[in-house]
Structure 1
Amino acid sequence: MFRFEELEVDGCYLITPMVLMEDKCDFIKIFNNTQFNIYGLSTEFKEECYAIAKPGVVRGMHFQRPPEAHDKLVTCLSGSIQDVVVDLRKKSRTFGKYTVIELNENNRNIIYIPSGCAHGYYIKGEKNAIIYYKVTKPYILSLRDGIHWSSLNIPWEFLDKYEVEVEEEDEKWPRFEEFESPF
């Protein structure tokens, strides 16, 4: 059975998956149409992909612009990430708010991110992370957008502790305060 916990951002859920543990193999179910429908979450996923990222890397904060904005289901299959979601929906009561959680190979948690939210993460620890995504609309490079990862005083774990690597593209996104949301 899945467990769903609504997070600080409206429509964003931390999902504890169904895990069947056996002597030599663990079986983890990360999606069940019926369970997701109970919470009114989209189940019409169109693409699945994964990213492999090195330790100390920060990615984000990304989203896809309308009319192809998409909901995301994200989990960390290997390694550990600090996962961050920012609400960019102007009419949302949680506009400008964020949620921060840890996803890793041990807790096996999943996050459901509604369209209109930006998403980013920091790779923790000493090993690469494999981040798995399901999205409700296909990825379209020309609609990719973002806000700067250092916006909103997000309490990133690496601040003042570690040197991090940030993709050049991610350093160019505008800060939240300078950003005009399309949502």
Structure 2
Amino acid sequence: MKLIKTELEGVFIIENFNASDDRGSFTKTYHKEFFSENGLCTDFRESYFSVSKKNVIRGMHFQLPPHDHEKLVYVAKGEVMDVILDLRKESRTYGKAISILLNESNQRSVYIPKGLAHGFKSIQDNTIMIYNVATVYNNISDFGIRYDSFNFNWELKSPIISDRDKALITFEEFKDRNPF
């Protein structure tokens, strides 16, 4: 496994161990000692997966304190443009968003610390995204920011978006309530 720094402090691309042969492939997405040696969270409490159609945008989601959490995401099948927005007021990259291409071929994961919003655009039908999070879901702390309310080009004219995500507040509206 190998860590690659991104523009956002604490956000890492992880090049996972992968082996392929005539049977198919095998990928290691988590190794406690590697995460611990690199100062990353090693205590993931829940794991989820979503299946998305092409042109779906999910996000931008996060949990508010005290249930905020680190997150480890990867694509088991398909392809996404993974998007992370820095909500940490004291960060030099506050308000900046980055995107990382994740797919079943590159076998990469993304590690996201507390204080960042996460979302993605599905590039292929039936894309399977896996999420590991360090806290148990709490519906009172569940929060998000509208995908189209910060400076980021999703490169999509007619996305498929849930009613929940359409109803999220804007980044500007969140600034007055920001606990990060």
Shorter-normalised TM range: over 0.9
Q: 2:114 matched to which residue of 1?
A: 115
Is 2:73–2:110's contact at 8 Å kept on the other side of the alignment?
yes
Q: Deviations over 1:118-162 (max 9, x none)?
A: 00011113x21111011110111221101110122212132x4xx
Is 2:71–2:131's contact at 8 Å kept on the other side of the alignment?
yes
Q: 1:165 matched to which residue of 2?
A: 160
| 1:80 matches 2:75 | no
CA RMSD of aligned residues (A): 1.1
- Partner residue of 2:142 out of 136, 144, 152: 144
**Structure 1 runs of 4+ off > 6 angstroms?**
none
C-alpha distance in structure 2 between counterparts of 1:38 and 1:157, whole Å: 37
C-alpha distance in structure 2 between counterparts of 1:86 and 1:152, whole Å: 9
Q: 1:53 matched to which residue of 2?
A: 52
C-alpha distance in structure 1 between counterparts of 2:19 and 2:59, whole Å: 33
Alpha-carbon deviation of 1:64?
0.5
Is 1:8–1:97's contact at 8 Å kept on the other side of the alignment?
no
- When normalised by structure 1's length, the TM-score is 0.93
C-alpha distance in structure 2 between counterparts of 1:62 and 1:123, whole Å: 15
C-alpha distance in structure 1 between counterparts of 2:138 and 2:43, whole Å: 17
Is 1:74–1:133's contact at 8 Å kept on the other side of the alignment?
yes
Q: 1:182 matched to which residue of 2?
A: 179
Is 1:82–1:157's contact at 8 Å kept on the other side of the alignment?
no
Q: Deviations over 1:34-70 (max 9, x none)?
A: 1112221111111111111111111110000110101
Consecutive unaligned residues of structure 2, counting only runs of 5 or more, are none
SS of residue matched to 1:140: coil
Is 2:97–2:151's contact at 8 Å kept on the other side of the alignment?
no
Identity of aligned residues (%): 38
Amino acid at match of 2:24: C
SS of residue matched to 1:37: helix
Alpha-carbon deviation of 1:25?
2.4
SS of residue matched to 2:150: helix
Q: 2:130 matched to which residue of 1?
A: 132
Amino acid at match of 1:107: N
- When normalised by structure 2's length, the TM-score is 0.94
Alpha-carbon deviation of 1:78?
0.7
